[in-house]
A = this chain, B = another copy of it.
Amino acid sequence: MDSVRSHLNEYVTALGRSPVRDLFEISLDPALISFAGGNPAPELFDVDGLAAAFSAVMATEGGRAMQYSSTDGEPEMREAAAKRTTEMGVPTSPDQLIITSGSQQGLGLLSQTLINPGDVVLAENPSFVSALQAFGLQGAEFKPVDTDEAGVIPEALESAIEKWHPKAVYLIPTFQNPTGITMSAERRRQVADILAASDTWLIEDDPYSELRFTEEQQIPISADQRLDDRAFLCNTLSKVLSPGLRVGWVRGPAHVLERMSAAKQANSLQTSTIDQLAAAYYLAHNDLQAKLDGVRAEYRARRDAMLEGLREGLPEGSAMTEPEGGMFVWARLPEGHDASALVYDAIRAGVVFVPGAPFYIAEPDPRTLRFSFVSNDPEHTREGLSRLGSVFDRG
């Protein structure tokens, strides 16, 4: 254990001034229990199912799979994506979407197509760091929309639109990253009303909604037909099948998809033909919902262990979200704590979390931190949180 300690101390020294950037690399060390990553649990991947899909595709249409293909995506994959989007409550035909190399490419293309330097993008505060990077690369300026436990506060959205004349509103309404918060149906209607009356694009990011532990399915805001001319719904197979595949899609108005397609062609030509065909084959020949039932049950048990452990382990006066799906719990330590400083002590104790401050667009709250609950089974979660217990000052 002493050698592990000194090894972990080296990390802390190496971390220097930019801790979050290196946290993910550090979190790969087996000596650490990591709550830091945004990775799905690999032991729950359907390796056999996807292996069979690759084999079948290579056996039956290997020449096609290895060849160039269209920028907008292979017909089978576009159909599968349209079917999935429709099942999520947003009626969609294949020509209403383009395939992207993961939803990050969708966000990147939307940014390149819609955002000019100085344009304002409204987002939940805190929000998904990589989306902010994509918009930031085009020179976007971010303004926060206030949220509460039911998501975006309509009045706050309305006044932010009035004040900032944003080019776009970026939202993750379901099991938000990093907070885990889900916007209520009522709020979604109110947000749709406000956006329908505005001239603002909606960029709705929906990677987590099928990882839900309750019966109640929330319908994306983009389902509101009044938004058909201004809403983009980004989705992906990353959280439900495999992030290594890089297959996602964006649903949106045709004239913008056309410009995104031109940008995609210049950026990267196309998404991997073989990955698209394998993913489409997988979706056509497997009952994804049945397979997801197993993943959801396990993730639910892991969330339960996380919430239980945090209730016990967080210092008196802490608060946390209790998400009904997704991957993340968000916590706030009592007055006087600094999560960015505590992360060093946590690593020395053999556990990693992500401090919350870097997720903020404005007024970062140094007392916040994000825990991924999907990466560890209940036992490891308990062990990790017990290590953390010694780190938190129990005021």
Which residues of A are at the interface with B, using a C-beta cutoff of 8 A? Answer: 38-40, 42-43, 45, 47-48, 50-51, 54-55, 58-59, 62-69, 101-102, 104-105, 108, 111-112, 130, 133-134, 136-137, 238, 241-246, 262-263, 265-275
Contact = CB atoms under 8 A, between A and B. Distances in A.
A137 B63 contact: no
Contact of A45 (B45, B62, B69): B62
Given A45-B66, A62-B47, A66-B244, A267 B134 contact: yes
A107 to B, nearest CB: 8
A386 to B, nearest CB: 27
Contacts of A63: 42-43, 45, 47
B130 A66 contact: no
Contact of A58 (B39, B51, B268): B51
Nearest to A40: B67
Task: Name the prevailing secondary structure of the A interface residues.
Answer: helix
Contacts of A101: 101, 246, 268, 272
B59 A137 contact: no
A67 B42 contact: yes
Q: How many copies does the complex hold?
A: 2
Contact of A267 (B42, B267, B275): B267
Contacts of A69: 244
A62 B50 CA distance: 9
A55 B272 CA distance: 17
Nearest to A66: B242
Contacts of A245: 66, 272-274
Contacts of A265: 130, 133
Nearest to A46: B66
Contact of A137 (B45, B136, B263, B272): B263
Contacts of A271: 246
A266 B38 CA distance: 16
A350 to B, nearest CB: 22
B268 A246 contact: yes
Nearest to A68: B243
A106 to B, nearest CB: 9
A137 B102 CA distance: 21
Contact of A269 (B51, B102, B112, B268): B102
15 contacts: A42-B67, A43-B63, A45-B66, A51-B62, A54-B55, A68-B243, A101-B246, A102-B270, A104-B268, A108-B267, A130-B265, A134-B266, A242-B274, A245-B272, A268-B268
A48 B55 CA distance: 10
B64 A42 contact: yes
B66 A268 contact: no
